[in-house]
A and B are shown apart, each in its own frame.
Chain A
Amino acid sequence: MDILKNINLDIDWKNVKTVYRREFANYFNTPIGYIFLGIFAILVNFLFFFITRFFDRGYSLQGMFDMLKLIYLAFIPVITMRLWAEERRSGTVELLLTLPYSELELILGKYLSALVFLGLSLATTLFLPMLAFYVGAPDFMVLIGSYLGAWLSGSAYIAMGLYISWLTRDQITAFLLSFLACLFVYLLGYQPVLQFFGPMKELLGFLSVSWHSDSLAAGLLDTRDLLYYLSFSAIFLYLNKVSIQKFRRGH
């Protein structure tokens, strides 16, 4: 464990907080944040009743979480597309990279702001569990596990989307590439696709984001799943850092 003490990541959490606050404010300094939350809330709440057949399925919220997985494919890229792409396009990246920040401080600040914004989005769906409790008796731990799984799998997509946003100067491209990447990852955990791979099924499934949220949704807080999500995000956050360093060096 001494090794961990020697790994100096050059992260001053005060700096991370400064970046986080700026980014989070940006979601709400323009109408974009409000519009996004509004559409997200309306979509989830609306689709819930028509698509997941809540009333037919014994008042289970499982349908909502399945639906969320699909909604994420389009919505998470919307959250992340501007995080780096807009800075690169407008030139404010020059401001950020010449202030005394380390790359990880900037990356983490942006990542955390998106995470919290995602949390807010999920909070707009809380009406549905309240309804479920009113008409039925859902399992509380399963509910907690499901929300946690939803948030964590969202965090993985966010880390990916953030990295992809750095790679482009154009928000639309960032969105499209992130969408494709999220779709790819989602499909890795989608049964019909997995069946296609036969013997590789177990391995590929283990790598997929949705696999791990399924066990969380079953109410099991397995550290392997938490580790999976942390590693997944860590890999993309690290790739993001490496990419910024390469940019500084002229590649």
Chain B
Amino acid sequence: MISVSGLKKNFGDYEAVKQISFSIGKGEVVALLGPNGAGKTTTMRMLTGFYEPTAGTAMVGGHDVQKDRKAVQSLIGYLPESASSYPDMLVAEFLHFIAESRNLSPEEAERGIEKAVKVTDLSKYLYSPIMHLSKGYKQRVGLAAALLHDPQVLILDEPTSGLDPNQITEIRHLIRELSKEKTIILSTHILKEVEDTCERAIIIADGRIVLDEKLDKIQRMKEGRETWEFALKGNPAGALEKVRSMLAAGEALTQISSSDAETRFAAETVEGFNEKLFALCVAEKWTLRELFMQKQSIDDVFARLTAKGTDAQGR
């Protein structure tokens, strides 16, 4: 659906985006993560046609952004980071302006606006001047404008910035709903947001991609290792040694606690430990009460990769 190759953007001498390539399939929900100034917004602005790339290509829905800008812009619903609506207009007036800008027929416009207003819960404020709305509602107006032409692709730049916690939850819920049908790229530097709404994260630092991975794989990435915690019923004799004997060199097992009711262990292993443990428990007739993996938090991955600075994959 979206494919970007060798994207580069200079402002005079300043290289905002040095080299970015990625590919996003239909229906994916991808987070663009990165520190401020990394190039996330610039990348999005190149996809939406606001900026022209200095080098490289960007294709959306089969159209080249540089050769066929209007076609690409019709496919995309964009929510920019800053003001995305005219304060002097009424909400309804503004949404009609957007609908006309997108050359929707009057029927399509009515339907699209109605649906967008319902989804963003703006019905109460339809005839309020936008300048009278709170930041959260202004954001919703921008989102409604991005949705009303039912675009296949949504590009959202920091959609929850400046919102209070309740509003943030609502917007995230909305994004999850929309993600069922649409391809979504959202940029954020709130790591929890990524975990809540996206399946894949592209981490950008200093104008390059440092990581492009599905979220569950990131969570398993502790330099290639997994951390498991499990509990056996009772205190079976020799459990510690038997499990340890299953491990390879470099893997580790410790006993956390032991009582008559249950014994807890923690293990640092490579992939596949859970299956081996289960088989062992069946063979030894142990009762496995709990088994869970401690997920690598994306915070750690982010900090590690963006602190490294130039240690990028340069993709």
Contacts and interface: CB of A to CB of B under 8 A. Distances in A.
> A and B from one assembly?
yes
B50 A91 contact: no
A97 interface: yes
B144 interface: no
Nearest to A17: B100
Contacts, number: 80
Interface stretch (B5-13, B111-119, B300-308): B5-13
Contact of A25 (B9, B71, B89): B89
A25 B93 contact: yes
B101 A94 contact: no
A133 B45 CA distance: 59
Interface string B108-139: 00000000000000000000010000000000
Interface in B18-66: 45, 48-52, 54
A99 B80 contact: no
B292 interface: no
A100 B77 CA distance: 11
A102 B70 CA distance: 8
B51 A92 contact: no
A30 B88 contact: yes
A248 B97 contact: no
A98 B80 contact: yes
Nearest to A22: B97
Give chain A's interface secondary structure class. helix
B294 interface: no
Contacts of B93: 25
Q: Of residues A22, A91, A92, A95, which shows the largest number of chain B Cβ atoms within 10 Å of its Cβ?
A: A95
A101 B73 CA distance: 9
B84 A14 contact: no
Given A26-B86, A100-B73, A100-B102, A95 B80 contact: yes
A95 B103 CA distance: 16
B88 A91 contact: no
B190 interface: no
Interface in A102-125: 102
A250 B101 contact: no
A208 B129 CA distance: 43
Interface string A199-243: 000000000000000000000000000000000000000000000
A193 to B, nearest CB: 38
A129 B87 CA distance: 39
Contacts of B88: 26, 29-30
Contacts of A101: 70, 101
B197 to A, nearest CB: 22
Given A91-B80, A94-B80, A100-B103, A248 B50 contact: yes
B98 interface: yes
Interface of B: 9-12, 45, 48-52, 54, 69-71, 73-74, 76, 78, 80, 82-89, 93, 97-98, 100-103, 129, 145
